[in-house]
Amino acid sequence: MNTTNDSAAAVSQSLTDLFNKVEAEFPPRFREHGWYLTVLASFVGTGQQQLAGRLHQHLISQPQYETSEARQALVRRMREALVKCIIINGIPVVIEAITSISDVERDEDWDYSCSRADWNVGPESSERAAKVLKVLYKSEEGGHVKNLQSHLDIPWISVNVSYGLFLSNHRILNMQETELVVLPAIMTQNLRGPTYWYLRACLRVGIEPDEVEAIHQAIEAVAEYGGSTLDVQRVKDVDDA
């Protein structure tokens, strides 16, 4: 009996079961192109980033990704989710995640585009960030700025870098899809305050409460797969959306 192969097969089936469960229970209007974004960000946030390649393999086995063009479009979306995770979870885990995808990509699917090649800090990026923060926090600077007046580097980075470079860039993932990434990237760290802010942000960008709860349950399923337990608020606790 080959226990190594049996173990690998068991892991493969358990992952497939996880992917199928999350996809089936994800909010219908985000199901086709959104469920894997939440799984990917949850993998990064729970230290399971090396499973990103397994997620990619699962996805490209499906009929809608039969062509190289479709697989390139998919990887651009996965890569953009990981780019957004950089500012929340850090570059080392994201490098491990994207490397695990790169390791299983076909040569003809490699995409050499760079979504931020033309980016710079300036009025345009600051204005874009302010618009997004106005929706998420009802403030152009974010809800935490009033507490950080003696530590101005932090809000400056939050507005001009976190949002100006990473989170307000909606070229590939729109505002709602961005929240499908940001919420799990934060929630999986068991950050209660920031989790509350982004449960609320989901509501403010037009995701319905029952949809937010379903996304929360998907994040919990991925966390549980990795042996983590989440202790954060739920959408029902949000009273100021």
At 139 the pLDDT is: 80
pLDDT of residue 6: 55
What lies within 8 Å, CB to CB, of 94 at 6+ separation is 44, 49, 82, 83, 85, 86
CA distance 24 to 139: 36
Q: Where are the beta strands (DSSP E) in the chain?
A: none
Residue 227, C-beta contacts closer than 8 angstroms, at least 6 positions apart: none
* pLDDT value of residue 194: 95
Amino acid in the structure at residue 84:
K
pLDDT of res. 4: 42
Instruction: Write down the pLDDT at residue 135.
Output: 95
Question: How do residues 149-195 score in pLDDT, each as one tens digit?
Answer: 788 898 888 888 999 999 999 999 999 999 999 999 999 999 999 99
Q: What is the pLDDT of residues 190-215, one digit of tens each?
A: 999 999 999 999 999 999 999 999 99
The pLDDT score that the predictor gives to residue 3 is 43
Q: How far is CA 14 from CA 7, 18, 224, 229, in A?
A: 10, 6, 12, 18
109: three-class secondary structure by DSSP: helix
pLDDT, tens only, 79-91: 999 999 999 999 9
Q: Which whole number is the average pLDDT over 115-138?
A: 89
The residue with greater pLDDT, 137 or 11, is 137
Domains in the chain (CATH in brackets) are 11-111+120-237 (1.20.1290)
